[in-house]
Amino acid sequence: MVTLHMKDSRDYLALRVGELRDEMLDRDTAVLAANTGSTFTATDPGQGQFGLPFWGKNIILNWPEFTGCDAQSGMALSTMDLAMLAYYFHSADGTPPAGTWIAFTELPDGKFYTAAFQGYTGNELVKVFGNDLNAFVQAAELAGMLPHYDILEVGAGTGIYQDTPLKNRFSHIHDALQYVMVRLVENNRKKPKSGRWKRRNRGAMAI
**Which residues make Cβ contacts (< 8 Å) with residue 44, sequence separation at least 6?**
none
CA pseudo-torsion sign 67, 72, 74, 76 = negative
pLDDT band at 192 (very low <50, low <70, confident <90, very high): low
The residue-averaged pLDDT of 102-114 equals 76
> Could you give the count of Cα atoms lying within 13 Å of 57 in the half-sphere of its Cβ?
17
Q: What is the pLDDT of residue 56?
A: 85
Helix 79-91 vs helix 29-36: crossing angle, to nearest 10? 100
- Distance in angstroms (rounded) separating the CA atoms of residues 76 and 82: 10
What integer pLDDT is reported at residue 23 of this predicted model?
96
| For residues 89-115, average pLDDT | 80
pLDDT of residue 149: 52
Strand order in the sheet with 47-54: 39-44, 47-54, 57-63, 67-70
Confidence of residue 81 (pLDDT cuts 50, 70, 90): very high
Report pLDDT digits (tens) over 14-68.
999 999 999 999 999 999 999 999 999 999 988 999 999 998 899 999 999 999 9
pLDDT score at 207: 33
Q: What is the pLDDT of residues 121-175, one digit of tens each?
A: 778 888 888 888 788 777 777 766 555 555 555 555 555 555 555 555 555 555 5
Average pLDDT over residues 174-180: 56
Angle, helices 169-190 vs 79-91, to 10°: value is: 50
